[in-house]
Amino acid sequence: MNSIVSALPGKITSLFGKLDSPYLNGGQQLAVKYFSVATVLFFAQLLFGLLAAIQFVAPGFLFGWLDFSVNRMIHINAMVVWLLYGFIGSVYWFLEEESGTEIAGLKLGNIAFYVLTGAVTIVVLVFLLIQTGPGKDTTIWFINEGREYIEAPRWADFGIVAVMLVFFYNVAGTFAKGRWSGISGVLTLDLIALAGLYCAGMFYLTNITADQYWWWWVIHLWVEATWEVLVGCIMAWSLMHLIGARRKIVQTWLYIEVALMFGSGILGLGHHYFWIGTPDYWFSIGGFFSALEPIPLVAMVVHSVYDAGVHQFKSRNHPALAWIIAHTFGNFLGAGVWGFMHTLPQINLYTHGTQWSASHGHLAFFGAYATINIAFFYMAVQKWRGNVWMGGELPGNGWKWKWAMALLNVGVLGMTVALLIAGYEQSFIERAMEGSTWSAYFSAQNHPWFQQAMHWRLLFGLITIAGLVLLIWDLVTIGKGETRPALQLLEAE
C-alpha cells in the first residue's frame, strides 16, 4: 500500500506528461494540463447537474446516497473551478509570447498546478463522502465552509490563495523580466484583485447580514468585475492571433471595456444587497448601476458591426471563431436581457432566489465564460497538433465541432427557457400571490407549469451533455493527421 502511495505522484506527473507536445513552449505545456483538468471538471459539472435535474422530477432518486444538496453544490463548484482552470490555462498559454521571454518560476507554477488539482480532488471526495454530520469549528476547516458557491473548507481556501499568488508571481515576474504591454498591465492588476477578493469570503461573522455582505464581494465582484476583465484580456490576445486584429485597436478597446465594466459593474453589486438586511440606499444604488450594466454590451454591438463591415478578416481557426461569436450572443442574452429583466428591486423582490435566478445563471455563465474557454481550447489544440489547418474544408466538413456547438447551445438555451417558465410561475404564485409562506412554496413546486418545466429542463440537460461528449471527442481528434499548415495572418502590431 505504502509503495503505491509513494509511487502515485510519479504516476500522476507521467500521466500529465503524456500531454506534452514538441510544438509548445513551457507555459503552453502547463496550460494544456490546466485545460485537461478543466474539461474533466466541465464534465463533472454537467454530470452532477444532471443528477440534480433528475431529482427535481424524481425526488427519491439517490436519496440518502447522493442528496440533492450535494449534487447542486458540486454542480456549481465544479463550474466555478473549471472556468478558473480555463482562465489560468489561457493566461499561461499566451504568457511567453506576450512577454517575449520564458516564464519566471515555471517549476513553481507546475508544482502549484499539482497542489491545486490535488486539493480540488480531496475537496470533492470529502463533499461526496461526508454529506451530513454536526457543524463544528473543525467542520469549517476540514469539511465545508458553508458559504454557497464557495463551500471549500478553509484549508483549501488557503491553498487556493497560495496557488493564486504563485500564478500572480509567474505572470508579474514574467512581464517584469520581458516586456510589458497594455494587455499585460491590465491583466496583472486584475490578478491582484482576483486573489485579494477571494480573501473576503474566507472569514466567518456571526451576523448573517455582515457575513453575506462580504461573501457577495467574492461572488459578484469576481464574476461581474475581475472575471470580465480577465476574459477581456484573453479575448484581446485571442483576436490578435485568430483574425489578425491590430494590437493598438484591441488594447484601446480593452481600456474602454475596463472603464465601462468598472463604472457599472462594481456598484452593480448593490443588486445583491436588496434583501440581506443592508440599508435602503442599496435599492437605489443597485437599481441604477444595474441599469448601466448593459452599456458595455451596447458598445460591443456597435463595435462588432463596425469590425464586420470595415475589415475583411480571415480566421485561422473556424471552430474558435464560431465559439467567440457564440460568446457575444450568449453574453448579451444571458447577462444583458435575462439579467435586466429581473434586476430592479421592485421586481427582484419576487424573483430573487427562484428558478428565475437559475435561468439567468445558466445562460449568463455559459454565454460569458464557458464559450470563451471552449474557443481557447480549440486555439490550443491547433498549436498542440503543430499549428495545423483549422479553417474551412475540415474532414467531414467539421461536423463534430458544428454539432457539438449546436447541441451545447440548444441544450443550454432550452434549459434557460424551461427554468424561466418555472421561475415565472414560482415568483408569481409562491412570492407574489401567496406571500412566500411554506405552503406557498409547495403550491409553486407542485404546479403543472413548474413540474413540466423541470421535465423539459432535464431533456435539454441531456442534450447539453451529448454536446459536451461530442465536443470532447472533437477536441481529442480534430487536426489529427492534418498536413496543411494553419492560415498565416499578418503579425499583430
Site of interaction with other proteins (CB under 8 A) = 248-249, 252-253, 256, 280, 283-284, 287-288, 291-292, 294-295, 297-299, 301-306, 309-310, 332, 336-337, 340-347, 349-350, 424, 427-428, 432-433
What sign has the CA pseudo-torsion 414, 335, 84, 186? Answer: positive
Nearer to other proteins by C-beta: 141 or 329?
329
Alpha-carbon distance of 209 to 273, in angstroms, equals 9
What's the min distance (Å) between Cβ of 426 and other proteins?
12
Report DSSP letters for 175-186, one per residue: HHHS---HHHHH
What's the min distance (Å) between Cβ of 316 and other proteins?
21
Give the Å distances, CA to CA, from 450 to 312, 343, 355, 371, 445: 47, 22, 9, 29, 6
As given in the structure block, the three cell numbers for residue 236 are 484581446
Within 8 A by CB and 6+ apart from 284, the residues are none
Instruction: Write the single-letter amino acid at 31.
Output: A
Nearer to other proteins by C-beta: 296 or 479?
296
* DSSP run (H or E) holding 264: helix 247-265
Within 8 A by CB and 6+ apart from 11, the residues are none
Nearer to other proteins by C-beta: 127 or 338?
338
Torsion of CA 215, 220, 221, 223, to 10 degrees: 130
| Count of CB atoms situated within 10 Å of the CB of 75 | 19
Alpha-carbon distance of 11 to 8, in angstroms, equals 5
Nearer to other proteins by C-beta: 169 or 340?
340
Please report, in angstroms and rounded to a whole number, the separation of the first and last CA atoms in the chain: 57
What's the min distance (Å) between Cβ of 294 and other proteins?
5
| Count of CB atoms situated within 10 Å of the CB of 40 | 15
What's the min distance (Å) between Cβ of 295 and other proteins?
6
Nearer to other proteins by C-beta: 165 or 305?
305
What's the min distance (Å) between Cβ of 432 and other proteins?
5
What's the min distance (Å) between Cβ of 332 and other proteins?
7
Torsion of CA 297, 303, 309, 310, to 10 degrees: -170
What's the min distance (Å) between Cβ of 287 and other proteins?
7
CA 321 from centroid of its chain's CA atoms: 18
Nearer to other proteins by C-beta: 323 or 332?
332
What's the min distance (Å) between Cβ of 356 and other proteins?
9
- The alpha-helical segments, DSSP class H, found in 314-398 are 318-330, 338-340, 345-351, 355-365, 371-384
What's the min distance (Å) between Cβ of 244 and other proteins?
14
Nearer to other proteins by C-beta: 253 or 377?
253
Nearer to other proteins by C-beta: 114 or 340?
340
Nearer to other proteins by C-beta: 207 or 346?
346
